[in-house]
Amino acid sequence: MFSVWHQASFGQVRTVTELKDNWKFSKGKNDNAFATGFDDKSWQTVQVPHDWAIYGPFDKEVDKQVVAITQNNEKVATEKTGRTGSLPFIGEGWYRNSFTLPNYKKGRKVILLFEGAMSQPKVFLNGQPVGSWNYGYNYFYFDISDRINATGQNLLAVHLSNQGLSSRWYPGAGLYRKVSIIEKDAESIEQWGVSVTTPVATAARGKVNIKTTVAGQDAWLVTEIRDPQGRFVASDTARKPFGKEFDQNLAVNQPLLWSPETPSLYTAVSRLYSGNELKDEVVTRFGIREISYKAGVGFSLNGQVRKIKGVCLHHDLGPLGAAMNKSALRRQLQILKDMGCDAIRSSHNMPSLEQLELADEMGFMFLAESFDEWAKPKVDSGYARFFNTDAEKDIINLVKATKNHPCIIMWSSGNEVPDQWGSEGVKRAKWLNEIFHREDPTRPVTVGMDQVKATMQSGFGALLDIPGLNYRTHLYEEAYKTFPQGMLLGSETASTVSSRGVYKFPVVKGVEKQYDDYQCSSYDMEYCSWSNLPEEDFMLQDDKPWVIGEFVWTGFDYLGEPTPYDDKWPSRSSYFGINDLAGLPKDRYYLYRSRWNTQSPTLHILPHWNWAGREGQVTPVFAYTNYDKAELFVNGKSMGIQTKNNSTPQNRYRLMWMDVKYEPGTIKVVAYDKNDKPVAEQSVSTAGKPYKIVVAPDRSTIKADGEDISFVTVSVVDKNGNVCPTAADELSFAVKGNGTYRAACNGDATSLEQFHLPHMKAFSGKLVVLVQANKTAGPIELTVSGKALKAGKVTINSTDK
């Protein structure tokens, strides 16, 4: 069972080997699966990262929880069927793989690195226990140098165990992030041993401080810095460490400063020598940037005050589940970038390293969160079981593994923890603050607080570097006056709910509204009992300089937490997303885009205009736009000009024609500039019967690496090319050539169709098909067909380049 993996070499002194292919997997109890003689031939062969639960099926009995969700202000326990996604993540699983180290020499150090394993992994090598870890979202490693079989095969076995009642959302299952082996000299730079900070970052000069922790006697260090184009800009030689640490300061003249608008990345190359012999080499990517938080000023990046325009993201990738895929993450960030988003909060867990790498590259500031529970539990078998013993080491690994990412501007030690009440919670918050400050004195720490009254009384909120408020917009003024920091962060905002392309009447604000189809209205007027509509947060940020920004709940729908249908079946994923589970924008996307994207015009109309049976009935029309006024036409007849005004929060940020009566045809909105000149228009027409399928890939060329994915948007349209907004046709998918069908998703929170099967119903006329490259370059052909519909076809090229 020999695997061929990706290898990266650093001057032949350090080798990083990703254990990716030819893993054997089995779900269930196998007492001897760690043993070298164990027969695993009948096990499933999988690629890691891997999520064993995403393949389903959906089942209402999976992790059914009878609970009153205190975070949702519930007082009475009810049956929650879809709270953790209704996918089979509970139970034990085993992974086995074999590897050799062909260049291994006795005395070298070998590190086994896991970037996340869900959950409670126990690791065995060559039949012997290596170690264990509890937190499924953390990165961890073991030194396996004394357990290596230098002359032959090494058997790696990993046992995972997921308990019920352990999560509030879909956690995934398995080796869902990378596993790697690092081989290096005994005299070497320690794992995560390079720390880069930029204490001075101006347009004229950048000061780069690099601390490097090493193992070895009489070693000396050479560090050079290269700019984003790879050109040499600075170098320093350190002859004597302080204990095990070298401390270097290097100057970079006229640096390219990192920001969301200009995500410039430098590289530090650290070379460790003993005598004249090169012992180790580590390459570290970093950005030169300055962050500042000041009372009366707010948040500044590189000396410029700005508001944080962020979203919260859970770790699942929709139809891929928890299994890490960089192309799926990149697509998410591209969608958010076009919306004008500039920040991400990892909710409520430690982010993947790939997510941080992409945030660095693409320009997203990052709030890296750690825990959803401290010592007081939210669920019976959650992280509270491990908090007292594991919290410090989990934070240490979080900070050490990620601290060099310029995107990270803040740490969060917790989210809505029940420990907000009482003196013990204050002590825990202080303890966690001190750990973060010890490990990284350059960034502030926050907590997402929902019990704001309690934290004002106890001093909990006062001891944080940045008070983070989850919702509670009515308490912002009081909290600002009570807390001493002189600023507040909307650490979690809005929780508006909607289903893409679904509209309900009458159009009025509604709290926890429910309908027979278990959908939420995309008029964006519905929210949860603890939350609010987006405009309340918009006003606070526009009118209060001490509100430094927001992180909206959420950027994308995620598996689990189907509020407001937690107790309804079938309902198995969230409605909070600005984008749906397939990554298709909801109407709300354009409301945020009209406010956040200052580089491109936005004009978006809702609802669709297919309302057979509503002829003559009031059917309001909204426009989300960054223009202040616009005129609506129905079949050429003007419905009047609307101008943004302060009469209500919604009128301040939306244009709304509330008295329009439906008649089939075309609605058109024309936007006007400040001189009353027409500058943009958009129209929506009543669609005819479904006629054909249109397919549109997000990328027509992908890498032939066995991992890259093209996301193909599939639309059911009429003869004139209008999307049929109520189409729910069953569609089938076939892939030929140098790729495979990976999954599909339609964004319907009530759908029980399995993602990996090659058929699915359209939802509101659309769905997304995921086509994955194999390892041989060449064309990939996708055909999407449906009964009585003209099929859609597209060719995607996979390339070695």
> Is the link from the previous residue into 570 a cis peptide, with omega within 30 of 0?
yes
Cα dist from 272 to 10, 25, 214, 216, whole Å: 12, 39, 8, 10
Q: Which residue has the tokens 């090493």?
A: 214
Cα dist from 155 to 125, 148, 351, 360, 505, whole Å: 6, 10, 29, 36, 61
Q: Is the pLDDT of residue 710 over 60?
A: yes
pLDDT score for 596: 98
Average pLDDT value for residue range 250-261: 98
- What is the rounded distance in angstroms from the CA atom of residue 663 to the CA atom of residue 553? 36
pLDDT score for 789: 98
If asked whether residues 152 and 30 sit together in one domain, one would say: yes
**143 assigned to some structural domain:** yes
- What is the rounded distance in angstroms from the CA atom of residue 797 to the CA atom of residue 708? 11
What percent of the chain is modeled with pLDDT above 70?
99
> Is the link from the previous residue into 506 a cis peptide, with omega within 30 of 0?
yes
Cα dist from 586 to 363, 515, 582, whole Å: 23, 19, 11
767 sits in which H/E element: strand 766-773
Q: 10 Å Cβ neighbour count for 11?
A: 12
If asked whether residues 680 and 697 sit together in one domain, one would say: no
Among candidates 270, 273, 279, 272, which has minimal Cα distance to 250? 270
pLDDT score for 150: 84
**755 assigned to some structural domain:** yes
> What order of strands is seen across the sheet that includes strand 291-294?
291-294, 298-301, 304-305
If asked whether residues 395 and 488 sit together in one domain, one would say: yes
If asked whether residues 220 and 323 sit together in one domain, one would say: no
Q: Is the pLDDT of residue 43 over 80?
A: yes
388 sits in which H/E element: helix 387-402
- What is the rounded distance in angstroms from the CA atom of residue 365 to the CA atom of residue 359? 7
Rounded to 10 degrees, what is the CA torsion of 541, 563, 446, 485?
A: 40
pLDDT score for 216: 82
466 sits in which H/E element: strand 466-470
What percent of the chain is modeled with pLDDT above 90?
95
**521 assigned to some structural domain:** no
Predicted confidence band of residue 558 (pLDDT cuts 50, 70, 90): very high
DSSP tag of 181: E
pLDDT tens-digit series, residues 401-434: 999 999 999 999 999 999 999 999 999 999 999 9
pLDDT score for 14: 93
If asked whether residues 681 and 776 sit together in one domain, one would say: no
- What is the rounded distance in angstroms from the CA atom of residue 171 to the CA atom of residue 187? 39
147-165 burial code (b ≥16 CB/10 A, e <16): bbeeeeebbbbbbbbbbbb
Cβ 231 vs Cβ 222: under 8 Å:
no
For residue 386 the two structure tokens come to 């491990």
**54 assigned to some structural domain:** yes
Rounded to 10 degrees, what is the CA torsion of 398, 402, 404, 405?
A: -130
If asked whether residues 768 and 628 sit together in one domain, one would say: no
For residue 150 the two structure tokens come to 């230098």
Query: Considering just the CA atoms, what is the radius of gyration of the chain in Å?
Result: 27
Among candidates 586, 529, 522, which has minimal Cα distance to 554? 586
The pLDDT mean for the chain works out to 96
Q: Is the pLDDT of residue 9 over 50?
A: no
pLDDT score for 108: 94
Count each helix (H run) and each strand (E run) in the chain, helices first.
10, 49
pLDDT score for 76: 87
**45 assigned to some structural domain:** yes
Catalytic residue among 190, 290, 373, 492: 492
User: Helix H segments across 68-192?
Assistant: none
Q: What are the φ/ψ torsions at residue 456 (nearest 5 degrees)?
A: -70, -35
Cα dist from 372 to 383, 396, 637, whole Å: 8, 17, 54
Q: Is the pLDDT of residue 2 over 80?
A: no
Predicted confidence band of residue 731 (pLDDT cuts 50, 70, 90): very high
Whether residue 61 lies in the annotated active site = no
pLDDT tens-digit series, residues 478-515: 999 999 999 999 999 999 999 999 999 999 999 999 99
If asked whether residues 122 and 31 sit together in one domain, one would say: yes
Q: Is the pLDDT of residue 3 over 60?
A: no
Cα dist from 782 to 411, 421, 712, 770, whole Å: 43, 55, 9, 10
Q: How many domains does the chain have?
A: 5
pLDDT score for 726: 98
If asked whether residues 162 and 238 sit together in one domain, one would say: no
135: CATH: 2.60.120.260
Among candidates 477, 474, 485, 335, which has minimal Cα distance to 410? 485
Q: Is the pLDDT of residue 362 over 80?
A: yes
For residue 748 the two structure tokens come to 């319907």
Whether residue 492 lies in the annotated active site = yes
Cβ 758 vs Cβ 571: under 8 Å:
no
| Domain assignment of residue 174, given as a range | 7-184
Q: Is the pLDDT of residue 452 over 60?
A: yes
pLDDT tens-digit series, residues 103-117: 888 889 999 999 999
pLDDT score for 12: 72
**572 assigned to some structural domain:** no
Pick 303 or 78 by higher pLDDT.
303
If asked whether residues 41 and 101 sit together in one domain, one would say: yes
Average pLDDT value for residue range 527-543: 97
427: CATH: 3.20.20.80
Q: Is the pLDDT of residue 6 over 80?
A: no
Pick 67 or 317 by higher pLDDT.
317
User: Helix H segments across 406-533?
Assistant: 423-439, 452-458, 460-463, 476-482
What contacts 457, CB < 8 A, 6 or more positions away?
A: none
Q: Is the pLDDT of residue 392 over 70?
A: yes
**324 assigned to some structural domain:** yes
Q: Is the pLDDT of residue 142 over 90?
A: yes
Catalytic residue among 416, 526, 536, 631: 416
pLDDT tens-digit series, residues 566-616: 999 999 999 999 999 999 999 999 999 999 999 999 999 999 999 999 999
pLDDT score for 69: 80
pLDDT score for 1: 30
Cβ 468 vs Cβ 447: under 8 Å:
yes
201: CATH: 2.60.40.10
If asked whether residues 332 and 228 sit together in one domain, one would say: no
Q: Is the pLDDT of residue 10 over 60?
A: no
**Final residue before a domain boundary, out of 184, 204, 230:** 184
Lowest mean pLDDT among 149-158, 435-444, 647-656, 749-758: 149-158
Rounded to 10 degrees, what is the CA torsion of 699, 701, 705, 706?
A: 60
If asked whether residues 281 and 306 sit together in one domain, one would say: no
pLDDT score for 78: 87
Residue 702 CA, distance from chain mean position? 22
What contacts 753, CB < 8 A, 6 or more positions away?
A: 746, 759, 760, 761
Q: Exposed, middle or buried by CB within 10 Å (0-12, 13-18, 19+), for 105?
A: exposed
**321 assigned to some structural domain:** yes
**Final residue before a domain boundary, out of 685, 717, 739:** 685
Predicted confidence band of residue 153 (pLDDT cuts 50, 70, 90): very high
**Final residue before a domain boundary, out of 685, 720, 752:** 685
pLDDT score for 217: 82
Q: Is the pLDDT of residue 7 over 70?
A: no
- What is the rounded distance in angstroms from the CA atom of residue 384 to the CA atom of residue 71? 16
If asked whether residues 307 and 282 sit together in one domain, one would say: no
Cβ 117 vs Cβ 132: under 8 Å:
no
